[in-house]
Structure 1
Amino acid sequence: MEDKIAHIISLSLILLLILLLILARIFLKFSKAFFLICGIDVSLIAAILVYMVIRLRFNRRRKQLESQILSEGRELRIEYSFLRKVAGVPTKFRYKELEEATDYFRALIGKGSSGSVFKGILKDGTAVAVKRIEGESQGDKEFRAEVSAIASVQHVNLVRLIGYCTNSSGPRFLVYEFVPNGSLDCWIFPKKPTHKNRNRPGGCLAWDLRYSVAIDVAKALAYLHHDCRSRILHLDVKPENILLDENYRAIVSDFGLSKLMGKDESRIMISMRGTRGYLAPEWLLENGISEKSDVYSYGMVLLELVGGQRNVSVVENGEGRSKKKWQYFPRIVSAKMKEGKLMEAVDQQLLETGTIDEREVRKLVCVGLWCIQEQAKLRPTMAMVVDMLEGRVAVEEPPDTEMLVVDLLSIDEEMMNSDEKPKIVPFRERMDDRNVPSSSSTPCSYAFSILSAR
């Protein structure tokens, strides 16, 4: 705009000087005054032309430099973005970028208690999963600290955090790499006909892949518990939080409930809710949790891999639909193993294929029963679980366990719906008889331990 104005002014001055020269010729003829005016006029016209040429060349050079700087800046940004990805440094996204990437959050691929997950495509073509965290009350400083901790975790069987977004007027977002084959629950449990997302991946996962998934998840949790600078507890290990990549290798995701522990800490106390069917007894009783709580949840996942059904489910009692009872699958597996009929507890879809290694089935069941021991000190560490599954350590017969959690499941639904929620006093007393330390004198309510949503 400035160049255009300068050109108009310069051309206007040249025209005025030429007009002045013509008028001087008409009125002054060839007098000395005419020649004086003519000399001055021509000099001014020449000066204006020289100014225009210099300005034109200067502007051309300036545009070349600006173009070069922009190009170098773009290359630097690309290089910086590449180095951030290589170093695992999370990128801070703008809310508008995530809106465009997810088509304004229309591509819903999952929903949990801590938020919803949407599929998105970034401008560079990277496929991502954007998790919208809902009901988060921590401040920006704490959120950034947690993001940094998650991003620093690098393992082949842990989902990679690409970036985050803090929105002052709305929810926060975590941007993860997109894992194409969905979550494990779609591959081991029967598909519900009423499920909204009928196009999601799923099927019957082969036995060799299930065994591989068990090892992958064990390695991921062992890394979190033993190989990180700060011990990380997942606290929500379940099939929905185990993803399968294009080669059906397991990737553990969703650190929304994770808490960091120092190496010198052995137990933390929290009031956070987990998922029904995966909560360790010490968590239900508010006795504090440790990495052994993740071991318990992992053991439940192992048994679900074998049986292809939920550990805790509701079945009809044969007395009409109004009467239903809880079914606890670990007790069924334990009974079948004692009877020597373990294969009857295996997923029927796998039995139809006829390609199951019974020794591996027995190994997974034994490891799973070790992991769900009610006393945390009897459970193996995740590092030991990896050694047992990979054959470096012999798997002994697990001890009998009373599976006291069944007492909670046997409570009548009518009592559950009553105004007075039953307390788990008998359950606590029985656990006290087994010398499990207690750090809380307040009995834990049934509503806390069982009714937390999946």
Structure 2
Amino acid sequence: MKSFPVVEARLKWLPVSAIAPWRQEEKGPSKLTPFRIQELPREFSFGEIRVMTQDFGNMVGQGGSAQVFRGHLDDGTAVAVKQITITSDVGEAEFLKEISIIANVHHRSLVRLLGYCRVPEGAGWYLVYPFLENGSLDRWLFHGEERRRLLPWPARRRIAVDVARALAYLHHECRLQILHLDIKPGNVLLDGDLRAHVSDFGISMTVARGNLTTSSASVVDTRGRGTFGYMAPEMLVNAVSAKSDVFSYGMMLLELVGGRRNFEPWSSTSSETPDFTRDYYPCIVREKMVRGELMEVVDAAMPLVDEAEVEAVVKVALCCIQRHRDMRPTMLTAAPE
């Protein structure tokens, strides 16, 4: 069986300004939002959760061990209530981890935790977030050409910038380095202005800065972490670092540009053997870049395309998804000021 090819982008000669087209010359220390600790979010009762969701009558999302319901607070604020099914110690750990991480990070491109509810006797545990009316980026990219037409290049570029800034904050500005470990369009939520907010910290991990640099790896059990198609190669051998998020970010960038998944899941009912080289979008993009034909594989439904900006963002993506993590940029390098 063929293995997935890994793009080895030959872009080491590029200056930083080419790798990160939105980044200007360094002028003093980072201006990203500083880390700060605020009070814990509100603890709701299970009765309050039932009232705000109208007895769980409007499910808007589902995946893994969680379901998401739309609801409203007493003041009319729309919220998304995430129910985490506690089936084992792993489920409980996921719930506690998400609370501990998201309650202590504060950045405009991270989803804000409004409150939580602990119901340990089988009813599930709950996290309450603001409801972001435009849903996940996944819904805009992979659910029909008409939706992609409503997501022009300036909006996609801004989404890329928002996610880069959020990851740079998590990796470089928090007291403990935070690794998200599941960056993908499904975990990027869009508000009414199509601004991006990174969500879902259930499989994230924190690392003391004295124990891990942004390029070195921590050996952990990666089972259950990450999503196939976005996971960095080193995660297959239980090694993770901030560069694992960089890889996932690069894969997401390519999907923003292409308006398609990097590799469509192969159907077991198909009589045709999948050709990973032919169908794997990162390889297609690399070859088209070499030939000067990149625009042939850019999302044809995307309005307001700026060819120079698209090419620059693709260069960022190819740098981010290199096989060897030490060759990938940091998110602080890739993020705008």
**Fold conserved between structures, TM > 0.5:** yes
Matched residue type, 1:248: L
Of 365, 375, 393, the residue aligned with 2:324 is 375
Where structure 1 has 5 or more consecutive residues not aligned to the other structure, the ranges are 1-85, 194-200, 391-454
Q: Superposed, which structure 2 residues align to 1:97-112 within 5 Å? A: 97-112=48-63
For the 8 Å contact 1:188–1:204, the answer to whether it is kept is no
Q: In the alignment, does 2:288 pair up with 1:336? A: yes
Match of 2:105 among 133, 153, 169: 153
Aligned partners of 1:369, 1:145: CA distance in 2, in Å?
Answer: 32
Cα distance in 2 between the residues matched to 1:364 and 1:139: 37
Query: Structure 2: how far apart are the matches of 1:314 and 1:138?
Result: 28
- Of residues 234, 257, 261, the one that matches 1:306 is 257
CA deviation profile, 1:42-95 (whole Å, cap 9, x unmatched): xxxxxxxxxxxxxxxxxxxxxxxxxxxxxxxxxxxxxxxxxxxx9553111111
Whose helix fraction is larger, Structure 1's or Structure 2's?
A: 1
CA distance in 2, matches of 1:316, 1:153: 40
Do the aligned partners of 1:90 and 1:164 also contact (CA within 8 Å) in 2?
Answer: yes
Q: Aligned-pair distance for 1:125? A: 1.7
Cα deviation code 1:311-364 (max 9, x no counterpart): 1214689xx9432415211000001101110001100102xx4x2111111111
Stretches of structure 2 that go unaligned for 5 or more consecutive residues are 1-36
2:40 aligns to what?
89
Look up the equivalent residue of 2:125 and give its one-letter code.
R
Taking the aligned partners of 1:143 and 1:367, their CA distance within structure 2 comes to: 34
- The one-letter code of the counterpart of 2:331 is M
Q: Deviations over 1:232-267 (max 9, x none)?
A: 111110001101111111111111111111112223
2:175 corresponds in structure 1 to 229
Normalising to structure 1: TM-score of the pair?
A: 0.60
Percentage of identical aligned residues: 48
**What is the deviation of 1:143?**
5.0
* Counterpart amino acid of residue 357 in structure 1: D
| Distance in structure 2 (CA, Å) of the matches to 1:231 and 1:130 | 27
After TM superposition, where is structure 1 displaced by more than 6 Å over at least 4 residues in a row?
139-142
Matching of residues 373-452 of structure 1 within 5 Å = 373-387=322-336
- The letter of the residue matching 1:367 is V
Residue 222 of structure 1 aligns with an amino acid whose one-letter code is A
Whether the 8 Å CA contact 1:151–1:161 is kept in 2: the answer is yes
Q: How does 1:310-325 map to 2 (within 5 A)?
A: 310-314=261-265, 321-325=270-274
SS of the aligned residue for 2:115 comes to strand
Matched to 1:311, the amino acid is: N
Contact 2:97 2:201 in 1 (8 A): no
- Structure 2 CA distance for partners of 1:385 and 1:114, relative to 1, 3 Å: farther
Give the direction of change, closer, same or farther, for the CA distance of 1:169–1:202 in structure 2 (3 Å limit).
Answer: farther
Contact kept, 8 Å, 2:98 with 2:201, in 1: the verdict is no
Change (3 A) 1:244 1:146: closer
Using the size of structure 2 for normalisation, the TM-score is 0.80
CA shift for structure 1 position 185: 1.3
Give CA-to-partner distance per residue, 1:281-320, whole Å, 9 cap, x none.
000133x100100000000000000000001214689xx9
Contact 2:81 2:128 in 1 (8 A): yes
Q: Distance in 1 between matches of 2:166 and 2:321?
A: 19
Structure with more contact order per residue of length (Cα contacts < 8 Å, sep ≥ 6): 2
RMSD: 2.5
CA distance in 2, matches of 1:257, 1:150: 12
Between stretches 370-379 and 183-192, larger displacement belongs to: 183-192
Distance 1:119 1:203 in 2: 26
Pairing 1:32-431 to 2, within 5 Å after superposition: 87=38, 89-134=40-85, 135=87, 137=89, 144=96, 146-170=98-122, 171-191=124-144, 204-266=150-212, 267-268=217-218, 269-273=220-224, 274-286=226-238, 288-314=239-265, 321-325=270-274, 326=276, 327-350=279-302, 353=303, 355-387=304-336
Bigger Cα Rg: 1
